[in-house]
Amino acid sequence: MLRHLISAADLTRDDAVLILDTAEEMARVADRPIKKLPTLRGRTVVNLFFEDSTRTRISFEAAEKRLSADVINFTAKGSSVSKGESLKDTAQTLEAMGVDAVVIRHGASGAPYRLANSGWIDAAVINAGDGTHQHPTQALLDAFTMRRRLVGRDAGLGQDLGGRRITVVGDILHSRVARSNVDLLHTLGAQVTLVAPPTLVPVGVGSWPCEVSYDLDAVLPKSDAVMMLRVQRERMNAAFFPTEREYSRRYGLDGDRMARMPEHAVVMHPGPMVRGMEITAEVADSDRCTVVEQVANGVSIRMAVLYLLLGGNEPAVTHTRTEEKSDR
Amino acid sequence: MDTQDTQNPRQDQDTPRSGGSGPADARPVLEGPDIARVLTRIAHEIVERAKGAEDVVLLGIPTRGVFLGRRLAEKLAEITGRTVPVGSLDITMYRDDLRMHPPRALARTEIPGDGIDGRLVVLVDDVLFSGRTIRAALDALNDIGRPRAVQLAVLVDRGHRELPIRADYVGKNLPTSLRETVKVLLAEEDGRDTVLLGVKQNP
C-alpha cells in the first residue's frame, strides 16, 4: 500500500487518475462560504521544511487546514537543526509527539525516502521536494492543470493525458519538477519532450521516458502545453551557458514564440518566475499562462493526496515500491 | 448512499454490481411502476406540506439519491408548473466511519445556483437505515448554508435506526432483519427500476 508519496514514479496510472479526480471535487470546496471539511479532524501533520519555500509550504498548510488537520510548521532556520541535530533525531522527536504525517522538503535528494523507510517514524511521509530528485505534488498539480485546460473539468474525470504533447523547457539538470513531470506525464500517457541547452540536460536522460531537443522553435508548433522552468542559480556551481541574454534568446518564451504554439496550447510555470529570463512579462501575463491557476490547483491536489493517504484506515493508493523493513 | 457501521454493512455500495441483478435469492419488493407511483405520491406530499413548494430545493445523496431527486424534481415541476432547483450532496468527507475503511472516491456536490439559505431543503436518499448518512448530510449542509428547514425523503425505510432521525416522506416502510439486505436499482445506473430484498451472503 502507498503509505507515503515519495516519487511520482511510484504512482500507477489509476492512482494518478484517482488523485486528479479527487482533486476535482476538492476544488469545489474553495467555492463554498465555509472552505473547510472535517475529514482529518484530530490528525496531526508536520510541515518539515529544511529548504526555503513559499508557495509549496503555504499550499500544503492551506490544504491541511481545509481538511481540519492540526498543523505544526517546522523550518530548519531557528530550530535545533541549526544547532546540529540530525534528521534522525528530528524525526524521532516528531514521532514522540504522535504525528500522523510529515510533509518534508529537504535539500538532499533521497531525504524523504530515508525518512519513510528507515523505521524512525510511523507517520506517512509526503515529499514536498528533495534536492534535484522529485517533487510529486507539483507534477500532480501540473497534470491536473493540463487535464482541466486540455480535456475539460468535467470531461476530464476518469481521463488521463493520453496522446498530449508536453514540452518542458529550461534547467532540466537541477529540476526535480522536470523529473517528476516526466515520470507522471509518461504514466498518464503523454509524450514529453525536454528542451534545454546541452549543458543543462542531465547525464542518463536517455533512459528517461521522453525525448530531448535543443531547438525550441522546432518543438513549439507540436506542443499542447509548454512548461517553462526557472534557471536555478542557487544550485549552479559552474557556468552552464555564456550569458543570460543568450539563454533567454534561445530558450526563453516571448510573445513571438508563443504565437507559434497551437491555438489551444497553454504556457505553464511552476514558479517562481524570473521575468525577462525564461519568460517575458507579455507571456507571463497572458490568458494562456496558467501560473496563477497552478497555485490554486496546488491546494486541491494536496488536499486530495492528504485525504487519500490519511483519510481512511489505510491508504487508497497502491504502492509499487517495496518498502524496506528495518530493525528499530 | 450507504451508511453503516461494521455490524451492518449494506450491500448496495460495497459489493461489485453484477449487471444490475441482486443476490440470487433476492426478491423484488417494489417494481418499476410502484416506484413511479411512490415518487408521484411523495411529490404531492411535498407540495402539500410545503404549501406549494415555492422555496423547495431538492438535494440527492449520491449515487441513487441523486437520480431519485431529479425524478422528484420532474414530478414537482409537473404538479406546480415551476422548475424546482435540484442538486446533489456528497457526504463522504463527513462520514463517521472514515477511519474504518480505506478512503472512498468522492462524488459530486452540486448546489443549485441560488444556494440553500432560507430555503426548504429536502434531502433525498434511496434507503434509510442507520441514519448515519443523514447525520453526515446535516453536517455537510451546515458548511454550505442555513436552510429555513430540512426535510428527508427516502424511497425505502428499512428500520434499525442508530440515531434519532426519521424521514418526512417515505416511499415504503420495509420491516427487515439485520441479516437481510435492501438493494435499490434505478434505470439511470442499473438499467432497471426495482427494490430487492435479499439475505446477506456472508454472515
pLDDT in tens, A254-285: 999 999 999 999 999 998 999 999 999 999 99
Q: Does B22 have pLDDT greater than 60? A: no
- With CA atoms as reference, the chain B residue closest to A23 would be B106
The minimum CA-CA distance between A304 and chain B, rounded to whole Å, is 10
Residue-level pLDDT at B2: 46
Q: Does B46 have pLDDT greater than 60? A: yes
Residue-level pLDDT at A30: 87
Does residue B156 form part of some domain? yes
- Residue A146 DSSP SS3: helix
Residue-level pLDDT at B109: 93
Domain range for B49 = 33-97+106-177
Q: Tell if the CB–CB gap between B105 and A33 is shorter than 8 Å.
A: no
Q: Which of A198, A180, A190 is nearest to A270 (CA)?
A: A180
Residue-level pLDDT at B49: 93
Query: Which residues of chain A make contact with B106, given a CB cutoff of 8 A?
Result: 21-22, 25-26
Query: Which residues of chain A make contact with B144, given a CB cutoff of 8 A?
Result: 32-34
Residue-level pLDDT at B203: 56
Does residue B60 form part of some domain? yes
Q: Does A37 have pLDDT greater than 60? A: yes
Say how many CB pairs under 8 Å bridge A and B.
53
Residues 243-302 of A with CB under 8 A from B: none
Q: Chain B contact for A175, CB < 8 A?
A: no
* CATH at residue B126: 3.40.50.2020
Query: Which residues of chain A make contact with B98, given a CB cutoff of 8 A?
Result: 39, 311-312
Residue B60 · residue B87 · CB < 8 Å: yes
Q: Does the annotation place A88 within a ligand binding site?
A: no
Q: For residues B66 and B186, what is the distance between their CA atoms, to the nearest angstrom?
A: 11
- Residue A24 DSSP SS3: helix
Q: Chain A contact for B138, CB < 8 A?
A: no
- Least CB-CB distance to A25: which of B94, B101, B108? B108
Task: Give CA B190 to chain center in angstroms.
Answer: 16
Task: Enumerate residues 6+ apart whose C-beta is below 8 A from B74.
Answer: none
Does residue B63 form part of some domain? yes
Q: Tell if the CB–CB gap between A38 and B139 is shorter than 8 Å.
A: yes
**Ordered strands of the A225-228 beta sheet:** A211-213, A191-195, A165-169, A225-228, A266-268
Q: Tell if the CB–CB gap between A312 and B102 is shorter than 8 Å.
A: yes
Q: Does B13 have pLDDT greater than 60? A: no
Does residue B83 form part of some domain? yes
Residue-level pLDDT at A316: 62
Q: Does the annotation place A56 within a ligand binding site?
A: yes
Amino acid present at B36: A
Q: Does the annotation place A66 within a ligand binding site?
A: no
> What is the ipTM, given to two decimal places?
0.82
The minimum CA-CA distance between B101 and chain A, rounded to whole Å, is 5
Q: Tell if the CB–CB gap between A307 and B101 is shorter than 8 Å.
A: no
- Residue range A19-28: mean pLDDT, rounded: 95
- Least CB-CB distance to A308: which of B103, B107, B143? B103
Residue-level pLDDT at A176: 95
Residue-level pLDDT at A240: 87
Q: Does B95 have pLDDT greater than 70? A: yes
Q: Does the annotation place A176 within a ligand binding site?
A: yes
Beta strands in A22-87 (DSSP E): 44-49, 70-75
Q: Residue A315 — very low, low, confident or very high, per pLDDT cuts 50/70/90?
A: low
Q: Does A214 have pLDDT greater than 90? A: yes
Tens-place pLDDT, residues B97-122: 998 888 888 999 999 998 999 999 99
Q: Chain A contact for B143, CB < 8 A?
A: yes
- Among residues of chain A, what percentage have pLDDT more than 70? 94
Does residue B1 form part of some domain? no
Q: Does the annotation place A272 within a ligand binding site?
A: yes
Residue A234 · residue A107 · CB < 8 Å: no
Judged by average pLDDT, the poorest of A13-27, A36-50, A306-320, B22-36 is: A306-320
Does residue B192 form part of some domain? no
The label of the residue with cell 514514479 reads A9
Residue B27 · residue B196 · CB < 8 Å: yes
- Residue range B144-172: mean pLDDT, rounded: 96
Q: Does the annotation place A264 within a ligand binding site?
A: no
Superfamily for A8-134+294-310?
Aspartate/ornithine carbamoyltransferase (3.40.50.1370)
Q: Does B10 have pLDDT greater than 60? A: no
Cα distances from A218 to residues A133, A166, A221, A250, in angstroms, run 28, 14, 7, 12
Q: Tell if the CB–CB gap between A38 and B103 is shorter than 8 Å.
A: no
Amino acid present at A4: H
Residue-level pLDDT at A46: 95
Q: For residues B14 and A21, what is the distance between their CA atoms, to the nearest angstrom?
A: 20
Output phi, psi for A104, to 5 deg.
Answer: -120, 135
Residues 21-50 of A with CB under 8 A from B: 21-22, 25-26, 28, 32-34, 36-39
- A136-291: CATH architecture: 3-Layer(aba) Sandwich (3.40)
Give the number of residues written for chain A. 328
Query: Which residues of chain A make contact with B100, given a CB cutoff of 8 A?
Result: 312-313
Q: Does A44 have pLDDT greater than 90? A: yes
Does residue B7 form part of some domain? no
Q: Does A234 have pLDDT greater than 80? A: no
Q: Tell if the CB–CB gap between A307 and B103 is shorter than 8 Å.
A: yes
Judged by average pLDDT, the poorest of A40-49, A69-78, A261-270, B92-101 is: A69-78
Q: What's the number of domains chain B is made of?
A: 1
Residue A310 · residue A100 · CB < 8 Å: yes
- Tell me the pairing of strands B180-185 and B194-199: antiparallel
Q: Say what angle helices A55-66 and A291-310 make with each other, to 10 degrees.
A: 50
Tens-place pLDDT, residues A167-205: 999 999 999 999 999 999 999 999 999 999 999 999 999
- Residue range A228-240: mean pLDDT, rounded: 81
- Tell me the pairing of strands B194-199 and B27-31: antiparallel
- Residue A192 DSSP SS3: strand
What mean pLDDT, rounded, does chain B reach?
88
The minimum CA-CA distance between A29 and chain B, rounded to whole Å, is 9
Q: For residues B60 and B37, what is the distance between their CA atoms, to the nearest angstrom?
A: 19
